[in-house]
A = this chain, B = another copy of it.
Amino acid sequence: MTRYYEDLTVGDTYDTGGYTVSKEEIVEFAEQFDPQPFHVDEAAAEESMFGELVASGLHTLCLSVRLFVTDFVQGGEGVANMGGLGMDDLRWHEPVRPGDTLRVRAEVVEKTPSESRSDRGYVEFHRTVHVDGAEVMSITSHNIVRRAEAEE
């Protein structure tokens, strides 16, 4: 019952479950990939423009991809996602703080059949990340999705 390119319709939306991020995860992620003081050191974070320890925006992006993959691409019926071309318009609207629960809404905004390969099409998703109903991040992704029936 996997959803193929043909099964995704422009305007369809999908909501993931929630993921709550801890202070320990925020610091551990930042130490590995974005070790700026306001992401790894509470005292330094109080002196920053954030005024408190906040998650790296990159961490918010990573957690949103995790929810998209586990709850949508691999959840329920699943999606025949072959890979990604890229992403556009990444914006962080609000910082994510320890204890926040993130949820992702993904909307199909455009579909384009591949001109050179009959087994696939390109699907553009607008994804927004919400904490307590407020939008904290948004991004558009360009995914490659397998077709159920390849044209000759």
Interface residues of A (CB under 8 A from B): 32-36, 38, 48-50, 57-58, 61-63, 65-66, 69-70, 73-74, 81-92, 144
Contacts and interface: CB of A to CB of B under 8 A. Distances in A.
B58 A62 contact: yes
Contacts of A89: 86, 88
Tell me if A's interface is mostly helix, strand, loop or mixed.
Answer: mixed
B34 A66 contact: yes
Contacts of A92: 84-86
A48 B89 CA distance: 28
Counted per complex, copies of this chain come to 2
B88 A90 contact: yes
B83 A91 contact: no
Contacts of A69: 34-36
B83 A62 contact: no
A52 to B, nearest CB: 13
Contact of A70 (B35, B85, B88): B35
9 contacts: A32-B62, A38-B83, A48-B83, A57-B83, A57-B86, A58-B61, A58-B65, A62-B62, A86-B92
A131 to B, nearest CB: 17
Contacts of A48: 82-83
